[in-house]
Amino acid sequence: MASLFALRLEPRLGNQANFLQTFTFGIIGFSVTVYSLSVGRVTNLSHVKSEDRKGGLIIGAHLFACRVA
């Protein structure tokens, strides 16, 4: 979506539109990195981490998820 928005803004903003795209993907990458590094500590502190992991959780109601379940 950021790429499409940048393409639309490019005639008016020039290189600033490309910066918008790069900035957006940078924020997404940073958010995913911070989340993945902190999720273990958060689950330990909130006492929601399960010690006996015997399965997985599949979220979704599309055909692939239903067949896997």
The string of pLDDT tens digits covering residues 37-56 is: 988 888 888 877 767 767 76
Residues 24 and 2: beta-carbon distance below 8 Å: yes
φ/ψ of residue 57, rounded to 5: -115, 125
Angle between helices 15-45 and 2-13 (to 10 degrees): 150
Residues 46 and 40: beta-carbon distance below 8 Å: no
52-45-58-55 Cα dihedral, nearest 10 degrees: -10
The string of pLDDT tens digits covering residues 52-69 is: 767 766 666 778 777 776
Domain boundaries, the chain: 2-49
